[in-house]
Amino acid sequence: MPTAEINGHSMYYETHGEGVPVLVQGGWGSFCHGSHGHLPRGLSDSYQAIIIDYRGLYDSSDDLSVDSSIDMYADDAIQLLEHLGHAGGAHLIGLVGMGACISQVMAIRRPDLVRSMMNMGAWSDATDPLFREQINLFLDVHRDMGWEAFQRFVCMMSFRPDYYNENQERLLGPDGPWRELNGRLEAHTRFINACLNHNVTDQLVKVKCPSLVVHSHMDTVTGPRMTRPIQDGIPNAEGLELVEVAHVVAGKEQKIQFCEVVLDWLGRA
């Protein structure tokens, strides 16, 4: 798959499927390099799914002389859509973390490029004291105790207790979640800096595209107290309550349910 010179760095991306483009961005990781199986099932059967490596991950370079920000990552994604010739716009799906924040900035700044937006596990204002403490502690653990301790900590915070207990051995280890950050403390630090400085609540009124905000009630990091202001701030945004879902959708039944949600939303939007 190709790289493109985008916004002052080499950006790696993949496309899967054909049709109307859907840019899917997650948290501090990548759906690329064989991980596209974690995309909502059936997405690439009907749409062109676009996935990327954020700066500093795998095959995307970074320019450390430029301060990291959600605006910077949004510019990367905007310029990629332009590079791919998607002047008619793309649907944006932002999942569990800064991918949703990036989508917000894209919808605010470039409404011509955004057909619709879905936010999940997100925030529009990072001033919440508990949220800031959680995010800073993730970085502290990674820096002071190492990536393995960070993975253990973030997995315990991100999955339902029953799912974690049943799948602990499969989750933990070099092939488990957040493996992209193993050996990439600098990239993680830059992600954290961008996340903690994101604040667009007062600008959400500028979002004109159809928008869906998912509220995951068992999410202990970006639960409804963080996601409801997004829905409240976007004119005519829809909300969806997922009472049994934590920060990460996990397990066969939840994944099937979530795939249905995504495809239904895209079909309506």
Q: State the pLDDT at residue 255.
A: 94
3-124+200-268: which CATH number, 3.40.50.1820, 3.30.1130.10, 3.40.630.30, 3.40.50.261?
3.40.50.1820
pLDDT exceeding 90 applies to what percent of the chain? 96
Residue 268 CA from chain centroid, whole number? 22
pLDDT value for 38: 86
Angstrom distances, CA of residue 19 to CA of 43, 46, 139, 174, 268: 10, 6, 39, 35, 16
Evaluate whether 55 touches 28 at the Cβ level (below 8 Å). no
pLDDT exceeds cutoff 80 at 90: yes
Q: What would the mean pLDDT of 44-73 be, rounded to a whole number?
A: 97
Mean pLDDT value across residues 58-74: 97
236 pLDDT more than 70: yes
pTM for the predicted model, two decimal places:
0.97
Q: What is the pLDDT of residues 142-159, one digit of tens each?
A: 999 999 999 999 999 999
- Confidence class of residue 4 from pLDDT cuts 50, 70 and 90? very high
**pLDDT over 80 at 259, yes or no:** yes
pLDDT of residue 1: 62
Q: Residue 124 pLDDT > 90, yes or no?
A: yes
Predicted pLDDT of residue 37: 84
Task: Supply the mean pLDDT for the chain.
Answer: 97
Whole-number percent of the chain with pLDDT over 70: 100
Q: What is the pLDDT of residue 123?
A: 98
Q: How confident is the model at residue 226 (pLDDT cuts 50, 70, 90)?
A: very high
